[in-house]
Amino acid sequence: MSLPDPSDAPVPATAIARPGPPALMARLRKAKHRVVVLGGGFAGVYTARHLSELLGSRTDVHVELLSEENYFVFQPLLPEVAAGGVSPTHVVNPVREMVPRVQFRWSKVQRIDIAAKVVYATQGEGKELVAVPYDHLVFALGKVSNFSSMPGVQEHALAMKDLSDAFKLRNHVYRCLELADVEDAPAEKAALLTFVVAGGGFSGVETIGELSEMLHKVKKNFKNIEARELRLVLVHSRDTLLPEMPAALGKAAMEILQQRGVEIIVNARTKAASRYAVYLSTGARLETRTFICTVGNAPNPICKDALATGAFVEGKSGGRGIGVFQTDLHLQCTGQTHYWAVGDCAGVPMPGKPDEICPATAQFAIRQGKVAAENILAAIDNRPERRREFSFKGLGTLASLGNRSAVADMMGVQLKGFVAWFAWRTIYLSKLPGMIRRLRVTVDWTLDLFFPRDITQLQPDESPQLRVEHYEPGEVIIARDEIGRELFVIQQGEVEVKEPDGTLVATLKDGEVFGEKALLTDAPRTAHVVAKTPVDVLVMTRAGFKALVGQLQPLDDYFTGLMKQRYPQLVPDDTRVTALVGTAKS
C-alpha cells in the first residue's frame, strides 16, 4: 500500500493564506512594513521591545515576535533556581508584558522561504502550520544542545538551558537524597550521592557551585547522610576553568570550589554515559545517578538551514565556520539588506577587533538588539544617516560559585570571594526585568539567609510517550496540513485514508500502522485519516517509539521493513529506522 508522501509536496496553500484574528488582520492592513523577530531570549525580546518603543504610535510598521515559550527566562539565575535558592516563577517574565505593543506568536519555526519572504511556523499544540510574511527578518534564535557525539548522553544527562531543566534538576537531586537516605547497599548509596557536571564554562561552574551549597544546606534533613558521603565532580576539557575569563580568575574559581570539596577533573571530555555511569576520555568511569551536561552546544537548525541556502555568509571563529550569520557592525547579515542577526546566532565583529566576534552573552545580546532596532527603522524610513554601528566592548564578566563566593572581571579589575559575589548579585538584580521580579528575588535571597531551603520534591505529570485514544465514526484522527509527530497503531476498528478531495486511498484495520512518516519528517500531512468505525489507536511519540522499538529487535525489524517499503527514499538499505528517528525536528 502506498500512502501520500507529505515530504515531497509543497507547503499547502491553506497554510499560506490562513487568516488571522480580525484585530490582527486590521493592523496588518494598515502596516506597510512587517518586521518579524525569531526568538524570545535576550536578543529577540530586546530587539522587539526597543523597536516598538522607537515606533511609538506609528501604525505603518507591524512588529511580530515568534517564540517557543510565552515567557522570557533570566538565565543567569537558573542555577539558583535548580538549587532552590530562588523560586522558578521569579526569574521569568511574560513576553507579552515585556513587549506589549508587539504581536507575540507562541509558535515553533519550521523553516524559512527566503525567496517568498515567509516564515513557516507551527502553533496550536504544534500541529497547525501558519505562514508569517515579512519585509525585515531578525534572527535571534539561541543555540541548541547536540549530544550526538557522546553515546548515551542524550538519554541519561540532565541539561541546564531553560526553566524546565532547572526545575527537573532540583526534583531529581531531592529524589536522589530521598533514595540515598534509606539505601543499605554502600555502592548504590555512593552512586546516588555522586553528582557529576560536565563543562567548566559559566553554566557548569555556577551549577556545581550552587549545587554544592544546596546539598550541604539540606543534608541535615536526611539523618542517614553524612557530609563526607556527598561527592561533587566537575569535568572540564581544558586545564583551567572559565576560559571566557582571565586565567587567574579561572584558577581562583578552581581553588574556591576545591576548598569546598568539589573534585575537578581537567583535560578530560565526556566520552559516553549510561544509566549507571559517566565515561571519560581518560578512561575513568564515574558511578553516578546524576549527570548534568552543560557542553554540546550546536547551531540552531533553522539558522543552519538558512545558511545552507547560500543566501548568507557563515560567521567564522579561528578560521572555521561556527553556524552563525556573519554580520556587519550594523547587525545586518552580510550581503543582505532585509536580514539581521543578533545574539547567539550572530557573528558580529568585535568593535576594534574585526578578526574576532562578540561573545554570546546577555550584555552583548541586549545591546545588539537595541542597535539592530534602530538600524531596521532607519532602513524602513530610508534614512541611512540615522544608522549607527555597534560599539559595545563589554563591561566585564562574573561567575557565581555559590556559598557567597564568586569571581569577577570588572572593567579590568579582578575580584574574587565575597566582594565578587556581592557585585554579581547587585548587577544581576539590577538587570532582572521588572520591579516586581526584582523585589521577589530580593525576598528569596533574604529568606535564604535565615531559613532552611524547601526540600519538597514536586513531580508534575509528564506527557505520556505511549497512550490510547478512542475515536467515533467520522471523527478525524489525522488532519491534512497538520504537522505530525506521532505514530498510530490500530488496536481495534477501521480507519480510512483519504486524499484532500475525498478520494479513498486505503482502509486500515486491526494491527495496521499509519502516520509513521511523522517519525522522520516535520512536513505537513497531505491526507486525512478518519475513523470508519469506533476505533482505538495506540499513539506513540517519537521518543516513545525510539525507547520501545529500539529495545525490541522484532519490532525494529518490522518498522524498518515497513518504512523501507513505503518510503525507500528516506531509509537507506543499511539503516535501521530507529537510528533516523532522532534526526527529525521535534
Could you write out the DSSP letters of every residue in 371-413? HHHHHHHHHHTT-GGG---------EEEEEEETTEEEEEETTE
- What is 6-144+299-386's CATH number? 3.50.50.60
pTM of the predicted structure, to 2 decimals:
0.81
The CB density around residue 446, as the number of other CB atoms within 10 Å, is 10
User: pLDDT tens digits for 297-347?
Assistant: 899 999 999 999 889 999 998 889 999 999 999 999 998 999 999 999 999
Same-fold call for 153-296+397-450 versus 466-581 = no
Q: Rounded to whole angstroms, what are the CA distances from 506 to 3, 191, 265, 496, 532?
A: 8, 53, 59, 6, 11
pLDDT at 568: 74
pLDDT at 92: 95
Confidence of residue 1 (pLDDT cuts 50, 70, 90): very low
Between 67 and 319, whose confidence is greater?
A: 67
User: pLDDT tens digits for 133-181?
Assistant: 999 999 999 999 888 888 888 888 999 999 999 999 999 999 999 999 9
Confidence of residue 4 (pLDDT cuts 50, 70, 90): very low
User: pLDDT tens digits for 99-131?
Assistant: 999 999 999 999 999 999 999 998 866 667 889
Query: By percentage, how much of the chain surpasses pLDDT 90?
Result: 68
Contacts of 360 (CB under 8 A, 6+ apart): 143, 343, 344
Between 23 and 548, whose confidence is greater?
A: 23
Q: How much is the average pLDDT of 180-207?
A: 97
Q: How much is the average pLDDT of 33-58?
A: 97
Q: Name which of 343, 400, 476 is nearest 72 in CA terms.
A: 343
pLDDT at 95: 97
Helix runs in 432-552, H state only: 435-450, 542-549
Q: Is the pLDDT of residue 498 over 80?
A: yes
pLDDT at 294: 96
The residue count for the chain: 586
> Do residues 555 and 519 lie in contact, with contact meaning Cβ atoms separated by under 8 Å?
no
Q: Is the pLDDT of residue 2 over 60?
A: no
Confidence of residue 278 (pLDDT cuts 50, 70, 90): very high
Buried b / exposed e across 264-273, counting CB within 10 Å, b at 16+? Answer: bbeebebbbb
Confidence of residue 574 (pLDDT cuts 50, 70, 90): low
- What is 153-296+397-450's CATH number? 3.50.50.100
* Cα–Cα dist 138/524, whole Å: 25
Residue where the block lists cell 557563515: 314
pLDDT at 579: 63
> Do residues 542 and 475 lie in contact, with contact meaning Cβ atoms separated by under 8 Å?
no
Buried b / exposed e across 32-52, counting CB within 10 Å, b at 16+? Answer: ebbbbbbbbbbbbbbbbbbbb
Angle 223-224-227 from CA coordinates, rounded to 5°: 90
Query: By percentage, how much of the chain surpasses pLDDT 70?
Result: 91
pLDDT at 109: 94
Write down the architecture of domain 466-581 according to CATH. Answer: Sandwich (2.60)
Kind plus residue range of the DSSP H or E element containing 496:
strand 495-498
DSSP state of 570: T
Confidence of residue 576 (pLDDT cuts 50, 70, 90): low
Q: Name which of 81, 82, 47, 80 is nearest 65 in CA terms.
A: 47
Q: Is the pLDDT of residue 427 over 50?
A: yes
pLDDT at 367: 97
Q: Is the pLDDT of residue 360 over 60?
A: yes
Q: What is the mean pLDDT of the chain?
A: 89
Q: Is the pLDDT of residue 555 over 50?
A: yes
Q: How much is the average pLDDT of 534-543?
A: 86
pLDDT at 291: 97
**Main-chain dihedrals φ then ψ at residue 528, nearest 5 degrees:** -95, 145
pLDDT at 21: 82
Domain coordinates in residue numbering, the chain: 6-144+299-386, 153-296+397-450, 466-581
Between 530 and 455, whose confidence is greater?
A: 530
pLDDT at 460: 64
Confidence of residue 571 (pLDDT cuts 50, 70, 90): low
Q: Is the pLDDT of residue 388 over 90?
A: yes
pLDDT at 584: 43
73-82, 381-390, 557-566: least confident range: 557-566
